[in-house]
Amino acid sequence: MSSTRATVRQYGVAVRALLILTLVLGLAYPLAVTAMGQLLMPDRAAGSLLRAEDGTVIGSSLIGQPFADTNGEPLREWFQPRPSAAGDGHDAGASGGTNLGPENPDLVAAVEERRAAVAEFEGVDPADVPADALTASGSGLDPHISPEYALLQVPRVAEARGRSEVEAQDLVRRSIERRDLGFLGEERVNVLELNLAVDGWGTRTS
């Protein structure tokens, strides 16, 4: 009898502990963190969304996206992001990389193919194409490119937009994000934010 009573008591303690921890860790804590996020960093808590002038959400500053036509061909009037191995490319529901080693023949072939394609698209020597134009990020969703890759694209975008290269270069340089805390990471350019600034130019009419 005492053994049954002890067992029932243990189950009772376990159930109460489960309920309390569920309320504290599964309800109270998430609500508190969400409330703090909305209070202290409302923009980040909402997903760092970027909007067009009419208020339409066009993306997040945290997630890269393609600037291509319906056939997947890059559009000349936009700065292009780095390659993506997430799903069919920049798929936020299938974030990930290729997991191929640096000497994998498939990766080597893909890099060389991209090098030739980018060089032709930008009208530059293949040797001048920076590494981030050839390789995907680990997540496949990196929204940034290097300043070098952004500046490489200046002549094409400027021509397509009917603007001077000096204007385009100035836009890129003003879009460069510095190293975090002055020493962490590398300088970078957010492609979506840069293209949002470019969108204010309009397109060339001829």
* Buried/exposed 82-91: b ≥16 CB within 10 Å, e otherwise: bbbbbeebbe
Give the C-alpha separation, 74 to 67, whole Å: 6
Mean pLDDT for 86-108 is 90
Note the pLDDT of residue 164. Answer: 96
How many CA atoms lie less than 13 Å away from 76 in the CB half-sphere?
Answer: 13
> Of all helices (H) and strands (E), which one includes residue 60?
strand 57-60
Structure confidence by residue, pLDDT tens digits, 128-166 = 999 999 999 999 999 999 999 999 999 999 999 999 999
Structure confidence by residue, pLDDT tens digits, 44-68 = 767 788 887 787 888 899 999 999 9
Note the pLDDT of residue 1. Answer: 59
Note the pLDDT of residue 202. Answer: 56
Give the confidence band of 204 by pLDDT, cuts at 50, 70, 90: very low
Structure confidence by residue, pLDDT tens digits, 178-193 = 999 888 999 999 999 9
For the chain, the structural domain boundaries read 2-42, 49-199
